[in-house]
Structure 1
Amino acid sequence: MFHLRRHWGTLVASLSRRPPRVEVCASFATGPRQYDGTFYEFRTYIIQPAKMNEFLENTNKHIHLRTAHSELVGYWRQEFGGVMNKVFHIWKYDNFAHRAQVREALAKDKEWQEKYISLNLPFMVQQKNEITYLVPWCKIVKPPKEGVYELVTFQMKPGGPALWGEHFQKAVNTHIQVGYSKLIGVFHTEYGTLNRVHVLWWTETADSRAAGRHRSHEDARVVAAVRESCNHLKSHENMLLIPAPFSPLK
C-alpha cells in the first residue's frame, strides 16, 4: 500500500507540472467571410437586333432618371463573345435593404416608367441578373483613360475560395505583372450560378489586348500560375465590351 501511495503521489505531481492543454479549434468557413454588405448587381439584357441603336439612344437620354436612385458603376454593349445584341451594366448597392428601397422607388417614379421603361421594355428579348461581391483582396479601380473592357467569367469547381482562392489570385496577379491590361475588379457570385468568378479588365484597344495576350502566353510566370489555377477550373468564357457614352467606367 505504501508503494501504491508513493506512485500515485508521484503521478499527480508530474501531471501538475505539465503545461495546460491547448484547445484546437477548426473553422468550418470555406473562405474569407463577407463582412462588407456592399454588393454589385450584374444586369444583362439581350436586345432585338434592329432596336439596339434606339435602345441605347433612349438610355443615353434618360439614364439620369435611373442614376438618381442608385450608383451606376459601368454600362457596356457587347462587341465579341457569346450571344450578340447584348448590353451589360453593373449597379452598386449598400445592402439588400438598399436595393429593395431603390426598386420600390423606381416602380413609383412616373417619369422613369413613362419615358424609359414603357419605351425600352418592348425592345428587350431577355433579362438576366446576378448578385456579386468583390473578392476581399480587390477594389474597383478606374482606368487611366478611355478604352475597351474584357469580362472573363470563370466557373470554378465547388469548394469555395479556401480551395482555389490562393491560386486564382496568383494567376490574376501574374497577368497584371505582364502589364498589357489593367484590372478593374474581381467579383464572386452570391446569387446566380454559384462558384463563379468574374474578372473585369481594361485595355486601350482590342489590338493591344491581343498583343498582350500573345506576350502572356510566352511568360513563364503566367503559364505556371494558370496551370495551378486550372486544377480548380471547370470552364470559362469572355466578352469584349465597349463602354456606352454615359458609362462612368470608360
Structure 2
Amino acid sequence: MLALRSRLTRALTARRLAPQVCSSFATGPRQTDGTFYEFRTYYLKPSKMNEFLENFKKNVHLRTAHSELIGYWSVEFGGRMNTVFHIWKYDNFAHRAAVRKALAKDKVWQEQFLIPNLALIDKQESEIAYLVPWCKIEKPPKNGIYELVTFQMKPGGPALWGDAFKRVIHTHINQGYSKLIGVFHAEYGALNRVHVLWWNECADTRAAGRHLAHEDPRVVAAARESVEYLDTQQNVLLIPTSFSPLK
C-alpha cells in the first residue's frame, strides 16, 4: 500500500510540473468577441462577369442596408477566372441569422438583385473566419490592389503554430514591404487555415517588395521557423470593384 501511494504521489507531482501548451494566439478576443467575417466567393459563368458586377453596383445599397460590406474584389491572378470575392461583417451568429431572414423577406432585393443574378452564378462558397487577437482591420492609404494569401497549416491549431506565424507576419510588417489589412483564422471551412489580406499600390510594387523580402535575412529567418508548420499556400491577386469599401 505504501509503495502504491508513493507511485501515485510521484505521478501527480510530475503531472503538475509538466509544461502546459499555451499560446496567446489561441486565447482572448477571438473567443470572447462574437464578431466574425464571412468570406464569400462566387464563380460566375464565362462572359457574365460584367453583367453581374453592373447589377451589383446598381443594387449594392439594397444589400448593405442589412449588414456591413468590408470589401468586394474580382480575382485577377492565382484563382479561377470570372470570380468575385467579398467579405461581410457580423456581430455574431444571431445577427447573421437575422440578416438572412430579413433578406428572405426583402422583395426589392430579391427582384432587382437575387433573381437576375442567380442565372449568372456557376458556384458559390462561404467560409466563416475571426480576426486573430493581435490584429484589427486596417485601411489602405489610397487606392491599390490586394493580395489574399491563404495558409493551410498543419493540424494542431494556433497552440502549435500560432507564435511562429505571428512572428513572420510582423517581420513583413516591420520592414514595410507590404501593408497588412487583416489576418483571419478560419472557424468554418478548412480548419487550421489562416487568411492574410495585404495591400499594395500596384502589382509592380508588390513584386518589388517581394523580391526585397526574399533577400532580407530577418524575413527569411522568420519564414523558415514558420514553414515547418505549413502544408500549402495560395496567393490570389484581387482588384477592388468600384463599390468596394476597401479600394
Q: 1:49 Cα deviation (Å)?
A: 1.8
> Would you say 1:100 and 2:83 are equivalent positions?
no
1:65 is aligned, of 54, 62, 65, to 62
Correspondence list, 1:92-171, <5 A: 92-171=89-168
Q: 1:160 Cα deviation (Å)?
A: 0.9
CA distance in 1 between partners of 2:116 and 2:239 (Å): 23
CA distance in 1 between partners of 2:16 and 2:179 (Å): 42
Correspondence list, 1:1-250, <5 A: 24=16, 31-33=26-28, 34-250=31-247
Q: Runs (4+) of structure 1 moved beyond 4 Å?
A: 23-30
Deviations 1:130-154 (A, max 9, x none): 0000001000000010000000000
Are the counterparts in 1 of residues 40 and 86 from structure 2 also a CA contact under 8 Å? Answer: yes
Q: 1:94 Cα deviation (Å)?
A: 0.3
CA distance in 1 between partners of 2:158 and 2:61 (Å): 37
Q: 1:65 Cα deviation (Å)?
A: 0.2
CA distance in 2 between partners of 1:41 and 1:27 (Å): 33
Deviations 1:76-134 (A, max 9, x none): 00000121111000000000000000000001000000000011111000000000000
Identity %: 68
Amino acid of the structure 2 residue aligned with 1:32 = T
Deviations 1:16-68 (A, max 9, x none): xxxxx9x9498677721511100000000001121100100000000100000
CA distance in 2 between partners of 1:244 and 1:202 (Å): 14
CA distance in 2 between partners of 1:74 and 1:242 (Å): 10
Once the two structures are overlaid, the 10-residue window that deviates more, 36-45 or 174-183, is: 174-183
What is the aligned length?
229
Amino acid of the structure 2 residue aligned with 1:89 = H
